């Protein structure tokens, strides 16, 4: 299999016009979205030499709740053989601090910034959205599928009717684009996607992390303080690809774009998600060991588009050939 992941020395800058596209009425310079929790509140990697927010189309800020949260007890992060378990528990300083203190420090000329809205009740979601609506934030991601908090999270994200109620309530208090983050830990992700779209979601993020745990055999205790956490990284890529493929038909019929995410570490990974139906691709865990991965992915995507004579990223989206399924 050919991998489109050229070294940085080969292509320093991917052709800008090729990678630009429109997402929910917003112009993105690249199909890459930096995922919530992986870059803090947009400043996490700014001190890494050579890193630039200009290499991505958007940055999703850390999950934010109405009031400050301390998060879960340690341990919160555990490396697995093909990924990472995390159970941070939505530690954050609260919406008011983010809006009044953090957002004014971000350079909105570099990229788009998306708030990640979290809560334990529908009323809390609404209040967080209301505060972000009165800010410079470009869009909001509704986090209804966080697997590492005991309240909210899974309770909302695994039940389509409840998911739709959250989306509808948020839609009522903002005109900004809403992106609903869907859980893979549910029976019918297609039905959840349909109901969220009908409730007012402008886009979907597919998928959130997969539930998992780790055990210390010596002590016979859970390693993660919360017992369970969200598994991310290459281990979940096949699951995420399938979920994007399953949701694509529903999203396409409603004219709603998808951010495909889960285990993307190379340009080849990103291309697979675009072919499956994602309009943009989320990068998260890979940033922890390669802060420059976005530039490499952009270069690889641009090289593929040129080789296969696609004018832009949008032309590649949803081009999966299922009529000739199987290995060639």
Quick check: is 294 catalytic? no
- Residue 318: CB partners within 8 Å, gap ≥ 6? 248, 252, 275, 276, 277
Residues in the chain: 328
Active-site residue, from 24, 38, 56, 146: 146
Cα 311 from Cα 203, distance rounded (Å): 23
**Helix spans in 98-158 (H):** 122-133, 154-157
Q: For residue 174, what is the DSSP state? A: -
Q: How far apart are CA 97 and CA 75, in angstroms?
A: 26
Q: Calculate the alpha carbon distances from 17 to 23, 54, 229, 313 in Å.
A: 15, 14, 39, 10
Question: Across the chain, which distance is largest between two alpha carbons, in Å?
Answer: 57
**Selection from 147, 149, 159, 100 nearest residue 124 by Cα:** 149
Q: Which residue has the tokens 């788009």?
A: 112
Q: How far is CA 288 from CA 19, 81, 297, in A?
A: 24, 15, 15
Active site residues: 146
């Amino acid at each position: 299999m050919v991998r489109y992941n050229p070294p940085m020395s080969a292509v320093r800058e991917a052709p800008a016009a090729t990678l630009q596209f429109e997402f929910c009425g917003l112009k993105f310079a690249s199909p890459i979205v930096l995922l919530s929790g992986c870059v803090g509140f947009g400043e996490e990697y700014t001190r890494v030499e050579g890193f630039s927010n200009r290499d991505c189309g958007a940055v999703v800020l850390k999950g934010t709740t109405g009031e400050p949260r301390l998060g879960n007890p340690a341990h919160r992060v555990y490396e697995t053989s093909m990924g990472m378990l995390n159970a941070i528990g939505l530690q954050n300083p609260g919406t008011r601090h983010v809006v009044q203190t953090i957002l004014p420090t971000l350079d909105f000329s570099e990229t788009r910034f998306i708030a990640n809205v979290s809560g334990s009740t529908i009323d809390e979601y609404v209040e967080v959205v209301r505060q972000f609506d009165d800010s410079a934030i470009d869009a909001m991601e509704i986090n209804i599928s966080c697997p590492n908090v005991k309240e909210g999270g899974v309770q909302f994200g695994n039940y389509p009717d409840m998911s739709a109620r959250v989306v509808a309530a948020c839609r009522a208090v903002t005109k900004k684009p809403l992106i609903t983050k869907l859980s893979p830990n549910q029976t019918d992700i297609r039905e959840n996607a349909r109901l969220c779209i009908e409730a007012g979601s402008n886009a979907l993020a597919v998928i959130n992390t997969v539930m998992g745990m780790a055990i210390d055999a010596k002590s016979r205790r859970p390693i993660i303080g919360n017992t369970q956490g969200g598994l991310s990284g290459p281990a979940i890529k096949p699951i995420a690809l399938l979920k994007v493929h399953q949701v694509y038909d529903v999203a396409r019929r409603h004219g709603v774009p998808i951010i495909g995410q889960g285990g993307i570490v190379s340009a080849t990974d990103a291309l697979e998600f675009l072919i499956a139906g994602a309009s943009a691709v989320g990068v998260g865990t890979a940033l922890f060991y390669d802060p420059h991965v976005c530039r490499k992915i952009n270069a690889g995507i641009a090289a593929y588009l040129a080789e296969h004579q696609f004018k832009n990223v949008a032309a590649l989206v949803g081009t999966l050939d299922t009529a000739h399924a199987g290995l060639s």
